[in-house]
Amino acid sequence: MSSLPLHPPVLSPKYQPFMKPFYITTAIDYTNAPPHIGHAYEKVLADVMARFQRLQGRQVYFLTGVDQHGQKVQKSADAAGLSPQAFVDGITAHFTSLWDKLNVRYDGWAATTDPRHKRVVQAMLQKLHDCGQLYKKSYSGHYSVRQEQFLTDKERGPDGNFGEEWGEVVEIEEENWYFKLSDHVEWLQNYIRSHPDFITPAFRTADVLNALDSSGGQDLCISRPAERLSWGIPLPFDERFVNYVWFDALTNYISFAGYLADECGNEGLPHFADLWPADAEIIGKDILVPAHAIYWMTMLHALGFTDEQMPRLIVHGWWNIKGAKMSKSLGNVVDPNSLADKLTPDGLRYYLMRDIATGYDSDFNDERILMSYNKELAGGLGNLLNRSINMAQKYRSGLLVPGDYDDSENSALRQTVADALPVYSESMNTWAIHDGIAAAWKIVTHANAYVDSTKPFSLAKDPSQAARLDSVLYHLAEAWVHLSVLLDPIIPTAMATARAQLGWEMPSGFVLNDLKWGMLQSGHQLNTPIPLFPRLETSAE
Ligand code: MSP
């Protein structure tokens, strides 16, 4: 897959040209198992924000990808009788095909087995080694041969022994390389205290500071002996070791943004100086502490990144399943593929954005997702479009002529549309996507009530009401044009279909600020209505 920008930005002439592109990334997903609904949520969240920023006229670079190294992959590949690379290639294909299906439109693809990434990780490790930030130390402890990991007291059972699940446990002594993370803790504490917008939502900041106050600021082991873990990036200064987990994975945010590209001979990547720092690194709450807020930040600081060059973290909550954590062993893992097939990709995108508040957990529920699809997408939004265009076709052959007629019902609907715009923008800009959807939905609810109260079917029977009917049909179409823009980042395919039915396209260079009442000219011709979200059968029906 190309890592060049796939979607050249359309910059509005009104947009400040000096502003750097909005650089948005997500966590890179482990490739030991196919994607589940939590992975889908995070990518859709990033995609919605990327589309919203483009809609505001901002140039965007959206990077996502896969975390392909590590012990788990090595083990799963062995079990499947495949080479680790063949194994991760197979799982990676599940991720890329899901992102295609869900219309997750990224610009760069970060796969950690990409040779360009490996070169940057090695160059970076070499730099840290050269400036004395890495050292070798011997560690002795209890080691589970079956699980291939060191055990701590946390793993002991109530009787003080390691349980049977660990198999044979031996005491071994092992040398490894460490990063002087502790050198940077004081800087990090000060940085966090003086940069309240570092972590969104802000309440998560306390977790980081608490961890640093307890034992979270200790030096970090960054290697595993190659005889124990071969599926990783060798340390350039000591090939008997491979890099272990986080240094490799976290580096993707800079390696694929063009960091050290010249030095490493890397091509086809963005210009680092144009892109960095990341405006949003979207991650789940489980990988904030210690990985992103402590390891990543201290790594960057050790490499010489300044306070102005630090990324911003957006931390989302988790989808649980009927109150329980989603896990393979509980057998409650939700497959986003089959849901997208059933509800349409936009149906799934909508639910994943509407039923969670960014930063907080939510509960995934099969019945709720169907109910919300039928009630809100089929019944509310889709039905509004269908009946608005149908009536205009039936009574006026699809021709809109607003005329001069006006009354308080019309002006109230226009006011609802006008009021929705700033609330929508403010919500979306602050990651409250569900509030952005709710702001747009005020238009849906009001417009549906407006059809019920103005009764176009009765107006059509009375020739003296012709001007009023014209104005009603125009107001409905115009309200829908607004919806087709506001909901575009969330349900892009359905909104493109709606615009085709409305016979209206966003003009080239169109930005959110251009949206105002009167997008449709007198004499505008509507097209044929086709249901946007056909109702789905539920077991109760
Ligand atoms: N590979 C690491 C991240 C490295 S980033 C430099 C990893 N991978 S993961 O596959 O386990 O998780 C990927 C993302 O999915 C994480 O941000 C994680 O929080 C998110 N989610 C995993 N399960 C989730 C839910 N049930 N709900 C929402 N998001 C969840 O961690």
| Three-state DSSP string of 442-500 | HHHHHHHHHHHHHCHHHHCCCHHHHHHHHHHHHHHHHHHHHHHHHCCCCCHHHHHHHHH
Alpha carbon separation from 308 to 186, 278, 304, 525 (Å, rounded):
17, 11, 11, 52
Q: Which of 24, 25, 63, 67 to mutate to test the pocket of ligand 1 (most atoms within 8 A of CB)?
A: 67
Over the range 491-510, which residues count as b (16 or more CB within 10 Å of their CB) and which as e?
bbebbebbbebbbbebeeeb
Ligand 1 centre and the CA of 30: distance in Å? 8
How far does the centroid of ligand 1 lie from the alpha carbon of residue 35, in Å?
A: 10
Q: What is the whole-number distance in angstroms between the Cα of residue 41 and the centre of ligand 1?
A: 10
Q: Which of 470, 483, 524, 297 is nearest to 383 (CA)?
A: 483
Minimal-distance CA residue to ligand 1 atom 30: 38
Q: How many Cβ atoms are within 10 Å of 268's Cβ, its own excluded?
A: 11
Please state, in angstroms and rounded to a whole number, the distance separating the CA atoms of residues 208 and 296: 12
Q: How far is the CA of 503 from the centre of ligand 1 (A)?
A: 41
CA of 324 to the centre of ligand 1 (A): 17
Top mutation candidate among 251, 318, 362 for ligand 1, by most atoms within 8 Å of CB = 318
Distance 413 CA to ligand 1 centre (A): 42
Instruction: State the pLDDT at residue 130.
Output: 97
Closest atom, ligand 1, to C-alpha of 252: 6
Distance (angstroms) between ligand 1 centre and the Cα of 282 equals 10
Q: Please provide the DSSP assignment of 87-134 as one string.
A: HHHHHHHHHHHHHHHTT---SEEEETTSHHHHHHHHHHHHHHHHTT-E
Can you give the pLDDT at residue 5?
38
Locate the ligand 1 atom nearest the alpha carbon of residue 282 and give its number: 17
| Degrees, nearest 5: CA angle 252-299-151 | 90
At 15 the pLDDT is 46
Coil vs helix vs strand at 529: coil
Q: Which of 103, 515, 538, 529 is nearest to 350 (CA)?
A: 103
Distance in Å, CA 448 to ligand 1 centroid: 39
- Report how far ligand 1's centroid is from the alpha carbon of 338 (Å): 20
Per-residue pLDDT of the chain (541 residues; tens, 9 = 90+): 333 334 434 444 444 556 899 999 999 999 999 999 999 999 999 999 999 999 999 999 999 999 999 988 999 999 999 999 999 999 999 999 999 999 999 999 999 999 999 999 999 999 999 999 999 999 999 988 777 778 988 889 999 999 988 999 999 999 999 999 999 999 999 999 999 999 999 999 999 999 999 988 899 999 999 998 999 999 999 999 999 879 999 999 999 999 999 999 999 999 999 999 999 999 999 999 999 999 999 999 999 999 999 999 999 999 999 889 998 888 899 999 999 999 999 999 999 999 999 999 999 998 999 999 999 999 999 999 999 999 999 999 999 999 999 999 999 999 999 999 999 999 999 999 999 999 999 999 999 999 999 999 999 999 999 999 999 999 999 999 999 999 999 999 999 999 999 999 999 999 999 999 999 999 999 999 999 999 998 865 5
- Domains in the chain, ordered, with CATH? 366-525 (1.10.730.10)
**Whose alpha carbon is nearest atom 12 of ligand 1?**
29
- Nearest ligand 1 atom to alpha carbon 285: 19
| Ligand 1, pocket-test mutation among 248, 283, 325, 363, most atoms within 8 A of CB | 283
Collapsing DSSP states into helix, strand and coil, what is residue 315? strand
Report whether 61 contacts 22 (CB < 8 A): yes
CA 344 – CA 19 distance, rounded (Å): 36
**231 CA → ligand 1 middle, Å:** 21
**Which residues sit with their C-beta closer than 6 Å to ligand 1?**
27-30, 38-39, 41-42, 67, 249-250, 252, 283-284, 286-287, 318-319, 326
Query: Does residue 460 contact residue 320 with C-beta atoms inside 8 Å?
Result: no
Q: At what angle are helices 336-343 and 345-354 packed, to 10 degrees? A: 110
pLDDT reported for residue 10? 43
- Which residue's alpha carbon is nearest to atom 20 within ligand 1? 284
Q: Which atom of ligand 1 is nearest to the CA of 39?
A: 15
DSSP code at position 6: S
Which atom, in ligand 1's list, is nearest to the CA of 253?
6
Which residue is closest in CA terms to ligand 1's atom 22? 38
Per-residue confidence (pLDDT) for residue 86, from 0 to 100:
98
Nearest protein CA to atom 25 of ligand 1, as residue: 38
Q: What are phi and psi of 362, to 5 degrees?
A: -145, 165
The predicted pLDDT at position 181 comes to 97
Token digits for 310?
């630090």
Structure token digits, residue 249: 């994975």
User: What pLDDT is attached to residue 340?
Assistant: 98
Per-residue model confidence (pLDDT) at position 330: 86
39 CA distance to ligand 1 middle (Å): 6
**Residue with CA closest to ligand 1 atom 13:** 29
Residue 132 Cα to ligand 1 midpoint, Å, equals 32
Distance 45 CA to ligand 1 centre (A): 13
Where is 168: in which H helix or E strand? none
Counting Cα atoms < 13 Å in the Cβ hemisphere of 492 gives 16
- Ligand 1 atom nearest to CA at 325: 26
**Whole-prediction pTM:** 0.94
28 C-alpha to ligand 1 centroid (Å): 8
Q: Cα(42) to centroid of ligand 1, in Å?
A: 8
The CA distance from 192 to 189, in Å, is: 5
Shortest-distance atom of ligand 1 to CA 27: 5
Q: Whose CA is nearest to atom 10 of ligand 1?
A: 29
Ligand 1 pocket test: pick from 31, 32, 39 the residue with the most ligand atoms within 8 Å of its Cβ.
39
**Residue owning the nearest CA to atom 24 of ligand 1:** 38
The residue contributing the CA closest to ligand 1 atom 18 is: 284
Token duo for residue 138:
């011997």
Residues ≥6 apart with Cβ < 8 Å to 97? none
